[in-house]
Structures are given as structure tokens and as C-alpha cells.
């Protein structure tokens, strides 16, 4: 593992945080301090400053010190790679993940780009034109080595991909990366489009601030409003839903359950409160299904707390079948709620098990709260 990979790993560990840890008032106040970015380099730098605010001063200082000593070796490594022989070919687009396999490409992108190659395995290369561009970044922000170190690494990957595959576009999911706007500028210099594709739920978080792409595909007008609030370029959005959000829901069938609760990474105390709320509905326990999260849930704890309920294994029951079998779809925060809305299911937002987190979701502009839904508190009151 290289030092750069170690830094990336430590960065993930140190900055791993719950979405409910975000102080929205503080973030909003910090965001208001910025003027409109004058160009794409400044958009990236503003995003970097916003992420530093979230990370803290000590983190930023340590990473800048380590990055200072890595810059020259990293540049040298990528320049040496430039001398390696490659077999040039042409494809329609390159991508930083297999969007097609994940069914995250909308119909128009699927039709536009026939041949798409994933590029994450490329070693990265820099030629003299790349070095000139990188020097323009360093010259403007000489005291931010962590900023331009990450830019160098991503430019090297894009440079390698463009020279190897001669694509029309780079498809990415990079709104969280402060390198994204600079990469848009780099792509334009090479006559390549930089296209960002929404791949998961978005909330108010200045980690995603000031981004600009040639095209940014989102799922709903709500996300455009959210990202513009975060300072994103206002003219680059396209609304298009990918196949992954559409589920094969069976209609006009007799429901096996009155409601199914979709868990996430709730604490034990939250699970106990959820159990209490569900019992307060008066619905028979064998008519309430608990579907745990395949990665975040403690299964033995869930089985203990929800004794008497039906426990659904997500590895054995497809999501489409799970939604089909239930009258109401329940959760505090889950992409499943949005998918259920697209399938015309009735959804219930749990505002009872963790009131503080529910209030934070309102502040963070959670899309489901602006769509037709029932609150668990109202549902319980109507049952009693």
C-alpha cells in the first residue's frame, strides 16, 4: 500500500461520520461567506475549503504537511508511466464505475454511449501539457499541497484514459470530490465532456458544494434546487431516472403485511423505540415485517428486539417482492422510500423513534419530506 493509499484510507476512517452529525446551521453560515466562483479552479478550491471546515484544522494541517513531501514523487511516477507503450483504441465513453451494470444510466445516456470502458485500473500518466496545467493550479494555490496533490492524481487518471481510449466523454460520480470542477476544465481542454451521474440519495452537505460538470444527471427537480443552494452551476442539470430506481412491483395483490419497516444503521436505543412505535399501531405483529440492512444491521440484536415480528432477509427476498407484499412502506431515511413513491406505494416516515434525526432531515432538505407521505405519529394517532 502506497503512502497516498494510506492517506486515503486514514481520511476515510477519520472522517467517517453519520449524516445526522452534520450541523446544518453552521454549514449554511459558512457557505454564505463565499462569493460566486470566478472560474472552475476556484469552484474546486472553494469546495476544498468547505471540506476543510468539516474535517477540522488539525486534519487539514497534517494532510498538507504529508502532501507537500508527496507531490514531486507522485509527479515523477506519473511522468515515467507516460513512457510506457500503450495500444490506443477509441470508445464512446470511459467511466469511473460500471454504471451500466448498476443500472444507473438513464435511457438517453444508454443510447448515446454504446461502448463504455471503466478506467479505475489505469496507472495514470502525465505529459508536458498536463504538467503545465498542473503548474497553473499550484501557482494559484501554492500553500495547499493536499488540494493540488489530489488534483494531480485525478488529472493523471483522466489523462491516461483520454490518451488510451480517445473517448467523447468521462462518466463519473464525483460531486463529493473537490477535484471535480478542475477535472471538468481539464476535460474541456481535451475536447471531452465531463458528465456526472447521481448514484445515491443527496442531502444538504457542503462536501458537495460549488460543483460544475458539462452535464449532471439527477433524479428530480428537488436535487437541482438542493445543489444550487450548495453553489453548484445552475445550467448543467438534466433530470432522468435510471432503471435501478424502477422496481417490478406487483399490483392488485393481497398484501402479506400491513407494513414493512426498512432499517438502516440504527442504534440499539433507536431499534427499541421503533419496536415500541410499531406496537403502538395496534397491528398484529405477524402483519409487520422488519427488513434489516444487509451491511449495517446487527442481525442477532434485531431478532432479539423484534421478537414476534416477521424478520425479512434482504439477501433472500428481492426488494421488488418486499415492496409488493406490503401495504405501507416505512422508514426514517432510506432510498427505498423514494423508490416506493415511484411505484405509487403509500409511505410512512418514522418521526417517532428519533425525533432529533427527523428534524435534521427537514433541515437537510430530504426529498421524501417534500413528497406525499404519512407521518408515523399521525398514523399511530389515527389507529387509537
- Per-residue pLDDT of 223-276, as tens digits, reads 999 999 999 998 889 999 999 999 988 887 899 999 999 999 899 999 999 999
C-alpha span between 220 and 4 (Å, rounded)? 36
Q: Nearest CA to 367 among 341, 328, 330?
A: 341
DSSP-derived secondary structure letter, 349: E
Across 307-311, average pLDDT: 96
The H helix count followed by the E strand count for the chain is 15, 12
Residues 306, 201 share a domain: no
Domain count, the chain: 2
Contacts of 206 (CB under 8 A, 6+ apart): 27, 30, 31, 50, 51, 53, 54, 230
Across 193-216, average pLDDT: 96
pTM here is 0.91
Residue 325 belongs to some domain of the structure: yes
Residue 2 belongs to some domain of the structure: no
Residue 135 — pLDDT band, cuts 50, 70, 90? very high
Residue 3 belongs to some domain of the structure: no
Residue 3 — pLDDT band, cuts 50, 70, 90? very low
Residues 272, 234 share a domain: no
Domain ranges, residue 346: 257-383
Residue 10 — pLDDT band, cuts 50, 70, 90? low
Contacts of 261 (CB under 8 A, 6+ apart): 274, 278, 288, 289, 290, 291, 330, 331, 350
Q: What pLDDT sits at residue 17?
A: 59
Q: What pLDDT sits at residue 88?
A: 72
Interval 335-370: pLDDT, tens: 999 999 999 999 999 999 999 999 999 999 999 999
Q: Tell which of 213, 245, 277 closes a domain.
A: 245
Mean pLDDT (the chain, rounded): 93
Q: What pLDDT sits at residue 1?
A: 42
Residues 176, 267 share a domain: no
Amino acid at each position: 500500500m502506497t503512502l497516498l493509499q494510506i492517506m486515503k484510507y486514514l481520511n476515510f476512517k477519520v472522517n467517517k461520520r453519520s449524516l445526522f452529525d452534520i450541523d446544518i446551521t453552521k454549514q449554511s453560515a459558512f457557505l454564505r461567506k463565499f462569493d460566486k466562483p470566478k472560474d472552475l479552479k476556484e469552484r474546486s478550491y472553494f469546495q476544498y475549503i468547505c471540506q476543510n471546515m468539516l474535517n477540522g484544522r488539525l486534519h487539514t494541517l497534517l494532510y498538507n504537511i504529508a502532501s507537500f513531501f508527496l507531490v514531486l514523487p507522485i509527479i515523477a511516477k506519473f511522468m515515467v508511466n507516460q513512457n510506457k507503450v500503450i495500444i490506443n483504441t477509441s470508445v464512446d465513453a470511459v467511466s469511473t464505475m460500471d454504471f451500466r451494470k448498476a443500472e444507473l444510466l438513464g435511457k438517453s445516456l444508454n443510447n448515446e454511449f454504446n461502448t463504455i470502458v471503466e478506467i479505475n485500473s489505469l496507472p495514470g500518466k502525465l505529459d508536458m501539457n498536463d504538467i503545465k496545467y498542473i503548474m497553473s493550479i499550484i501557482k494559484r494555490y501554492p500553500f495547499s499541497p493536499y488540494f493540488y496533490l489530489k488534483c494531480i492524481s485525478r488529472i493523471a487518471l483522466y489523462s491516461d484514459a483520454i490518451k488510451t481510449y480517445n473517448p467523447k466523454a468521462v462518466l463519473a460520480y464525483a460531486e463529493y470530490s473537490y477535484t471535480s470542477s478542475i477535472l471538468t476544465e481539464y476535460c474541456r481542454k481535451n475536447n471531452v465532456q465531463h458528465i456526472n451521474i447521481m448514484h445515491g440519495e443527496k442531502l444538504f452537505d457542503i462536501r458537495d458544494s460549488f460543483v460544475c460538470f458539462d452535464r449532471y444527471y439527477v433524479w428530480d427537480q428537488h436535487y437541482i434546487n438542493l445543489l444550487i443552494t450548495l453553489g453548484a452551476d445552475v445550467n448543467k442539470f438534466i433530470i432522468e431516472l435510471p432503471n435501478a430506481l424502477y422496481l417490478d412491483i406487483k399490483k392488485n395483490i393481497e398484501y402479506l403485511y400491513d407494513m414493512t419497516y426498512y432499517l438502516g444503521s440504527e442504534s440499539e436505543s433507536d431499534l427499541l423505540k421503533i419496536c415500541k412505535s410499531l406496537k403502538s399501531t395496534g397491528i398484529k405483529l405477524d402483519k409487520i415485517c422488519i427488513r434489516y440492512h444487509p451491511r449495517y444491521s446487527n442481525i442477532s440484536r434485531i431478532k432479539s428486539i423484534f421478537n414476534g415480528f416477521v424478520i425479512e432477509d434482504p439477501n433472500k427476498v428481492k426488494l421488488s417482492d418486499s415492496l409488493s407484499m406490503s401495504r405501507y412502506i416505512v422508514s426514517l431515511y432510506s432510498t427505498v422510500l423514494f423508490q416506493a413513491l415511484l411505484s405509487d406505494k403509500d409511505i410512512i416516515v418514522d418521526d417517532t423513534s428519533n425525533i432529533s434525526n427527523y428534524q435534521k432531515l427537514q433541515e437537510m432538505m430530504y426529498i421524501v419530506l417534500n413528497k406525499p407521505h404519512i407521518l408515523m405519529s399521525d398514523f399511530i394517532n389515527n389507529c387509537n
